[in-house]
Amino acid sequence: MTHTEMLLHIHENALMALTDANEQSNLAPRIVQTLGDAKDSGGFHLRDGSYLNGLVKRNVDYCAAIDFSVIQKARRISDQAGITMDAGHIKWFLHILSLNGFVAWYRRKSQGFAGEHIHAIYVGVPMKPQLQRQVKDYLAGLDGLAHHRQETFWRADDTADAALRVLFEKHN
């Protein structure tokens, strides 16, 4: 899928929220999956619904989940420089995502992910039960993986969590 196609399969409300997050964080990590069926993704990126896209004037399938690479360089918005992401950049971006309607985790090698990435879910749109369960895990401080372990890399603060819960419950 091209970058443009990946963007098309993000719900327009989620795309607006992501644009805000990019501007506020001054960072645009590279999107590597939206709607898709990558082997390692266990079905989490399958279709959640469709939305009427104003640009192409038809209904388009979306997935509420977005994967961002942390291996490829991120774009710094202010000067378009390529930034190599370290733990600090990842935590900063996770924080800003949490203020813009996204729950997100850093998926790392120690958890069995060969391709390290950020797995984010925009909670302001309807989603399939599989993703709903992950969001509930996140709100309980868990990692959203098979064994539902405590998330240890980063946690949103209580205020952000409360707002995410309200947004999620309004749409799911």
Provide the binding-site residues for Zn ion, judged by CB under 5 A.
65, 67, 119
Nearer to Zn ion, 55 or 146 (CB): 146
Q: Which residue is at the shortest CB distance from Zn ion?
A: 119
Nearer to Zn ion, 48 or 67 (CB): 67
**Exposure letters 71-105 (e unless 16+ CB within 10 A, then b):** eeebbeeeeeeeeebeeebbebbbbbbbbbbbbbb
**Smallest separation (angstroms) from Zn ion to the CB of 118:** 8
**Smallest separation (angstroms) from Zn ion to the CB of 24:** 22
Identify the helix (H) or strand (E) that includes residue 170.
helix 158-171
Nearer to Zn ion, 11 or 119 (CB): 119
Q: How many CB atoms lie within 10 A of CB 23?
A: 14
**Smallest separation (angstroms) from Zn ion to the CB of 65:** 5
